Amino acid sequence: SFADIDDSAHPLSPFAPRGFAGASNAWAAAASRSASGGTLLANDPHLGLSAPSVWYLARLELGSGGVIGGTIPGMPMVLTGRSDRLGWGLTSAYVDDQDILIEELNPANPKQYRTPDGFKDFEQRDSIIQIKDADPITLTLSWSDNGPILPGRFRDLETITPPSHVAALSWTVLSPSDTSVSAAIGVMKAQTVAEAITAAESYIAPAQNLTLADRGSIAMKTIGAIPRRDTAHQSQGRMPSLGWQKENRWQGRMPYATNPGFVSPAGGILGNTNNKMIDRPFPNHVSFLWGDTQRVQRWRRLMQAREVHTRDSFIEAQLDTVSFTARTLLPLMGAELWFTGEAAPEGTPERQRQRALALLAGWNGAMNEHWPEPLIYAEWLRALQDRMARDELGPMADALTHVEPLFIERSFRNIDGAASWCDVRQSAPVETCADMARLALDDALLSINETYGTQLESLRWGDAHQAHQDHQVLGEVPVLKHFVNIRQSTSGGDNTLQRGLTKGSGPNPFANIHGAGYRGVYDFADPNSSVFVISTGQSGHFLSRHYDDLAQLWRRGEYIPMSLDEGLARAASVGVTRLEPLK
């Protein structure tokens, strides 16, 4: 049965690991905030890094004209890019579009489940999986009215599912009439912001924030189905609920007009970093959980720092490595440590702590690959959260692979008594957050010494924060892996606009494994000045010089031009490859 398949760590699981949801940045400026007098748009979607990249640069010729930008091979559309008149970009909207519902089985017939109107047969289908050098496996797939039945071992669902019950998944992406592809093609054909918003109405899932700019206006619209829930829903979708209770079942989708949208804002600037966009009470909410509370703070600062923006200022923001998190937390963590203590002999923990604090005191928070401070800060923060959480959570603290900045900040500011997290409950003394900060810094410096064994001043963040762009098929093959995998020192971090999400666990916890595989900046005062880049190259063949020729440009924060003018494109080409069907 399907229960033989384990959770998301299983290679056959269709579910991504927790903690690595899609993310992105997108922002736009109206002509009134542009030095060139034309609208501006920037977008860099964040996905898991791989070689070849998920993204492929392409130009498509439609009946409505040419479009150019980032595509995903196999999908007949430019997902982020521009036409001659319109630019568009995507960020993950974090819409609350999944619910788990517990279905009660019929004691007399386990192929039936309870509904508001009595027992009903599951829809079932056998799926045969062929396995090389082994017998095939037959999986029996089942569906209720609420969605597909999940295996009990997935995310340990069986531990919360009563006997004679199963869990079903309601998810907008499972819609039987998904018109998302045709909607995306409609956006490509649109000539104005208004036309693009109208075309996106039939988009279903996964929900996105669509950022738009035409030659005269800018807009942002959340596209995708938002479930309509009953005000009497037992758990508001936050926890598994009873699937046979009518009030827990979805009642269609919310009207598209109620999806968050912002057209031609008065300030002339709009953007999204997966941050909270709108605050509405249940059941009109968009989400209970958002993807960013940190990057947006730095983005606002950069946008407000200039009266007018340019293509280059948008590029500068896209490549910004300053961590708002570091600038917020370090003053709290070091409040009782900066420039204190007596002189200590070389080689002592006290002396090492003083050297680390002296470096951090003069640091501006930039997660620069060439500097030691980002690594010291990252190790310190990681050790601090572990010390604060482990005595309360025990082994469950292992699940906290990434630092939660708001948890640290609220604890150090003692918001609603959160400073109690700093006290080690299993010890008699009452430890303060300053005590935890000092102990965690010593932990971090010990870990750095054991891992790198070098002077603090000689450390490089980029040595720990290498981008792991690995081949998904050949990346583990001995010898061959050295040819197909692309490893590069990179700047940025978990909460910088130039995002490089760290792995969070294992022997290389700061490895960069999730970031902007595509970057694009479009200037509609001079559309041909727009720039693009992907993180590897255009070829999927590791022996091709185009397998990784864009990777160094991407790492250095450089871009390439692309033009909708076919003559210009052919004039600069290095060759032409023709794909022709067999006669």
pLDDT per position as a tens digit, 319-339: 999 999 999 999 999 999 988
Residue 16: what pLDDT?
53
| Count of Cβ atoms closer than 10 Å to residue 435 Cβ | 16
> In this structure, how many other beta carbons lie within 10 angstroms of the beta carbon of residue 254?
17
Contact 517, 49 (CB under 8 A): yes
With a cut of 50, list the residues of the chain below it in pLDDT. 1-8, 10-12
Phi-psi region of 81 (alpha: psi -120 to 50; beta: other; left: phi over 0): left
* Alpha-helix runs per DSSP H in 289-428: 295-304, 311-318, 324-333, 349-361, 373-393, 405-412
- On whether the CB atoms of residues 294 and 43 are closer than 8 A, the answer is no
Give the containing element (helix H, strand E) for 26.
strand 23-29
Q: The tokens of 190 are what?
A: 């649109």
Q: Are 101 and 168 in contact (CB under 8 A)?
A: yes
Q: What is the pLDDT of residue 7?
A: 45
Residue 205's nearest CA partner among 226, 228, 190, 230 is: 226
Helix (H) or strand (E) holding 520: strand 518-523
Sheet of 218-223, strand order: 56-62, 65-71, 80-82, 86-92, 208-214, 218-223, 261-263
CA pair distance 350, 344, nearest whole angstrom: 6
What span, in angstroms and rounded, lies between the C-alpha atoms of 298 and 75?
Answer: 33
- The pLDDT of residue 203 is 97
Question: Buried b / exposed e across 369-404, counting CB within 10 Å, b at 16+?
Answer: bebbbbbbbbbbbbbbbbbbbbeeeeeebeebbbbe
Per-residue three-class SS string for 49-71: CCCCCCCEEEEEEECCEEEEEEE
Is the Cβ–Cβ distance between 281 and 236 less than 8 Å? no
Q: Tell me, what's the pLDDT at 154?
A: 86
Q: Which residues of 515-530 are buried (b: 16+ CB within 10 A; e: fewer)?
A: bbbbbbbbbbbebeeb
What is the three-state SS of 418-451? HHHHHCCCCCCCCCCHHHHHHHHHHHHHHHHHHH
Side-chain-facing half-sphere of 374: CA atoms under 13 Å: 27
Residues in contact with 436: Cβ distance below 8 Å, sequence separation at least 6, in sequence order? 384, 387, 388, 422
Q: For residue 2, what pLDDT is reported?
A: 34
Instruction: Please report the domains of the chain, with CATH numbers, ordered by start residue.
Output: 2-15+97-174 (2.30.120.10), 324-464 (1.10.1400)
Residue 573's pLDDT is what?
83
State residue 504's pLDDT score: 94
Which pLDDT value is given to residue 8?
47
Give the chain's end-to-end CA distance (angstroms, integer). 44
Contact 496, 508 (CB under 8 A): no
Name residue 292's beta-bridge partners.
Answer: 275
- Round to whole Å and give the CA distance between 168 and 487: 40
Residue 379 to residue 54: CA distance in whole angstroms: 30
Q: How far is it, in rounded angstroms, from Cα 82 to Cα 538?
A: 19
